[in-house]
Amino acid sequence: MTTSPIETKAMQLLSKMTLDEKLGQLSQTCGAGGHIPQYLVEGIQKGRVSSVINEVDLATVNELQRIAKEESRLGIPLLIGRDVIHGFKTIFPIPLGQAAAWSPELVEKGARIAALESARAGVNWTFAPMIDIARDPRWGRIAESLGEDPFLCSQLGVAMVKGFQSDDLSTNGAIAACAKHFVGYGASESGRDYNTTNIPENELRNVHLQPFYFAAKSGVASFMSSFSDLNGVPASGNQWLLKQILRDEWQYKGLVVSDWESIKELKVHGLSASDKDSARLAAKAGIDIEMQSTCYIDNMKALIDESKIQESEIDSLVLNVLQTKFALGLFDQAYTDLSTLPAYLNHEHLSAAKEAAQKSCVLLQNQSRNGASPILPLNKNDTKRIAVIGPLANDGYEQLGTWVFDGEEQHSISCLSGLKEIVNEGTEIKFEPVFASSRDKDTQQFEKALSITEQADVAILFLGEESILSGEAHCRSNIDLPGAQNELIEYLSQSSTPIVLVILAGRPLTIQPIVNKIDSILYAWHPGTMGGIAIAEILFGDACPSGKLPVTFPRVVGQVPIYYAQKNSGRPAAEWSYVHIDDVPQRAPQTSLGMAATHLDTHFTPLYSFGFGLSYAEFAYHDVNISDNKIVIGESFSVTLKVENKSEIDADEIVQLYIRDLVGSVTRPVKELKGFQRVYVKAKSIVNVNFELHTDDLAFYDINNKLNVEAGDFLLGVGKDSSLELNVAFELIN
Ligand code: GLC
């Protein structure tokens, strides 16, 4: 096998390194926030620091690099890591919101801008994309995810990697991306963060590993091991995962970093009895850099002296680190040259953030309680008095969402400001926050809110979750609107004034109790810096909502986990089988009910399906055709259709293609997303849409956990969300 120039350079450098210097390359430590303590100076001078995390003062970063380059024996530059999850200064919607735009192009652009802005602070490594499959809205980190579906998450995750890394990692403004959290973190039991995960290998391979596989093949520079216990072996000490899957099966050559102190936590898990043993297990598994904890630097020499690990094994870890630094071009240019980087928050960046926020918004409901025509879009000329209600209407901080280290609220356009910016001159806006926070239970301002609602032509409620209620370690067992928000909506619903509810949240919320008490609902996630103007333009029709849900919305939290790509079971839920608890006859005999996979007290369907989202336009799908109903395995095939916009409004529609493999050597989901396209359809016109597929797209890990395409019968459907009917039959033949 030929050795690349980067591998050659890394091996030449490795040959000059002492054991101490080698071990130094396996250690990441936290910056001190704008100054350099003496211990850090000395650590870098001695070659004991490979990477610094959370230092974003450029002068300090350049000085850290200078010390490494000029005052250490071998002059090995530093990796400067930062969580740049959905923007640096220009904040984009939370990743779950970005996923609702179903646009790899938008996600790539957002990551590119985040890379350029963070590079201005000397950052050369971000810990993103987070591509955990998330199917539990109780889990706070669903906010950082790209949703429940492996196909959508894979497409968007690869786009994010490309945005961060550009086409050449060594170019100025490209930063190393990091596929995290490897793997299965989203399946944490009961949606509690850091909790145990038990995932059968077949599901791991067919669901959770998929986005990471595509990230690896896309050239992501690094992986991060998860905190979680994976089937009894925590990921940071899991050789099956980090060696057999990542290195042997996927031939991944990049760098693996542990999550924050996750190596030290192997002892807490009970996988090891000491930090030394944790160091051994993690190194044997293949963690190259230890984040924050010091099990490696404190114990590795002893492990080598005791022959519990070979120096040659250490060499392999060091090589992965050095190769990454060479790939980043750090040996040639470790210092940040601001002259080649665009300014923070420039017009282009803010425009991109607004577009992302706008295309992320999902219109969940648009009707009127009195049966008249839908409330949205509002007419600027007819809307002369607006009641704006809710604490999130005027909070540039909360709208930024979770995992925002460097964004600042003063740059945000709040929802209230956005409305004021676009309404007609003379329009009266009365604002009543009602609550001090989204968790507030004080109802004293309800009467005042009702009063301004009664006087208004429309009431616009901005409710939901503060940013701290989602994200890492911020999980909820009850995912209703927090505080007394439901009570507020109930109270205001006594008014005949049309009510529009805009929800800012980091997860799907169980809003079933209030949907019939308001007219229209727009789900804006945490929309970022430009959220306010993006939302205002949608509400008044300057933009048309086009987002589609990247995650299923349950009716009640007791339905969780609920997701579209479920298995059929032997007794699938169906209308005939559903008997509501209130309708169960008294003393009903044991076998008298539906005897199917349903709950007695909640309908078996979700409140909103994966892929669901309304538009101001009205779309119709016609002439779905497949190129052949018998397709030889190994060949390509295509699916064509027409999408008609029957309205007077030009708009985007996200066309979705799902399949079902009716019989497999393991049971297959009742639907699987295999294609999507965001198409622009002018008013009163029809566009042709074409999907090019290959039988490889229908491959799955079979009964032997081997990736395989099995002959047999399939169904296919194309439509506007995952509740569509699969009405095209085809067969794969050998
Ligand atoms: C955190 C997170 C991880 C993040 C890392 C560094 O605990 O789990 O996603 O990248 O620590 O901040």
Strands (E), 538-635: 619-626, 630-632
Q: By alpha-carbon position, which residue is closest to atom 3 of ligand 1?
A: 259
Q: Which atom of ligand 1 is nearest to the CA of 260?
A: 11
Mean pLDDT score, 329-338 = 94
One-letter-per-residue 3-state SS of 667-689: CCECCEEEEEEEEEECCCEEEEE
CA of 69 relative to ligand 1 center, distance in Å: 27
Residue 243: name the closest of 290, 196, 286 by CA.
286
CA of 203 relative to ligand 1 center, distance in Å: 25
The number of helix segments (H) and strand segments (E) in the chain equals 19, 26
Q: What is the pLDDT of residue 594?
A: 84
Q: Which atom of ligand 1 is nearest to the CA of 180?
A: 9
Q: Which atom of ligand 1 is nearest to the CA of 178?
A: 10
Q: Which atom of ligand 1 is nearest to the CA of 81?
A: 6
Q: Residue 163 pLDDT > 80, yes or no?
A: yes
Q: What is the pLDDT of residue 377?
A: 98
Confidence of residue 346 (pLDDT cuts 50, 70, 90): very high
Ligand 1 pocket test target in 84, 260, 261, 470 with most atoms within 8 Å of CB: 260
* Cα 673 to the center of its chain, rounded Å: 17
221, 178 Cβ separation under 8 angstroms: yes
Strands (E), 370-421: 385-389
Confidence of residue 3 (pLDDT cuts 50, 70, 90): confident
Q: What is the pLDDT of residue 249?
A: 98
Q: Which atom of ligand 1 is nearest to the CA of 130?
A: 9
Q: What is the pLDDT of residue 2?
A: 78
Residue 181, preceding peptide bond in cis (omega within 30° of 0): yes
CA angle 398, 402, 405 (to 5 degrees): 95
CA of 180 relative to ligand 1 center, distance in Å: 9
| Residue-wise pLDDT tens digits, 93-131 | 999 999 999 999 999 999 999 999 999 999 999 999 999
Q: What is the pLDDT of residue 523?
A: 99
CA of 302 relative to ligand 1 center, distance in Å: 29
CA of 127 relative to ligand 1 center, distance in Å: 7
CA of 484 relative to ligand 1 center, distance in Å: 32
* % the chain with pLDDT above 70: 100
Q: Which residue has the tokens 């989202």?
A: 613
Q: Which atom of ligand 1 is nearest to the CA of 128?
A: 10
Q: How far apart are CA 442 and CA 483, in angstroms?
A: 8
Within 10 A of 616 (CB to CB), how many other CB atoms are there? 20
CA of 267 relative to ligand 1 center, distance in Å: 19
Q: By alpha-carbon position, which residue is closest to atom 6 of ligand 1?
A: 260
Q: Which atom of ligand 1 is nearest to the CA of 54?
A: 12
Residue 561, preceding peptide bond in cis (omega within 30° of 0): yes
Q: By alpha-carbon position, which residue is closest to atom 7 of ligand 1?
A: 260
Pocket residues for ligand 1 (CB within 6 Å)? 83, 127, 180, 259-260, 472
| Residue-wise pLDDT tens digits, 641-651 | 999 999 999 99
CA of 186 relative to ligand 1 center, distance in Å: 14
Within 10 A of 666 (CB to CB), how many other CB atoms are there? 16
Q: By alpha-carbon position, which residue is closest to atom 8 of ligand 1?
A: 259
Mean pLDDT score, 672-692 = 98
For 517, the 3-state DSSP assignment is: helix
CA of 529 relative to ligand 1 center, distance in Å: 22
Q: By alpha-carbon position, which residue is closest to atom 1 of ligand 1?
A: 260
Q: What is the pLDDT of residue 4?
A: 92
Q: By alpha-carbon position, which residue is closest to atom 11 of ligand 1?
A: 260
Round the average pLDDT of the chain to a whole number and report it: 97
Would you please indicate which residues are annotated as catalytic (active-site) residues?
259
Strands (E), 204-360: 222-225, 229-230, 233-234, 255-257, 290-291
Q: What is the pLDDT of residue 372?
A: 84
The model carries a pTM of 0.98
Confidence of residue 7 (pLDDT cuts 50, 70, 90): very high
Q: How far apart are CA 248 and CA 219, in angstroms?
A: 16
531, 415 Cβ separation under 8 angstroms: yes
Confidence of residue 370 (pLDDT cuts 50, 70, 90): confident
Can you list the domains of the chain with their CATH numbers?
A: 354-539 (3.40.50.1700), 619-733 (2.60.40.10)
Q: How far apart are CA 285 and CA 246, in angstroms?
A: 10
Q: Please, what is the end-to-end C-alpha distance for the chain in angstroms?
A: 34
| Residue-wise pLDDT tens digits, 229-240 | 999 999 999 999
CA of 465 relative to ligand 1 center, distance in Å: 22
Ligand 1 pocket test target in 55, 86, 142, 472 with most atoms within 8 Å of CB: 472
Q: Which residue has the tokens 């336009």?
A: 617
| Residue-wise pLDDT tens digits, 241-283 | 999 999 999 999 999 999 999 999 999 999 999 999 999 999 9
Lowest mean pLDDT among 365-369, 375-379, 482-486: 365-369
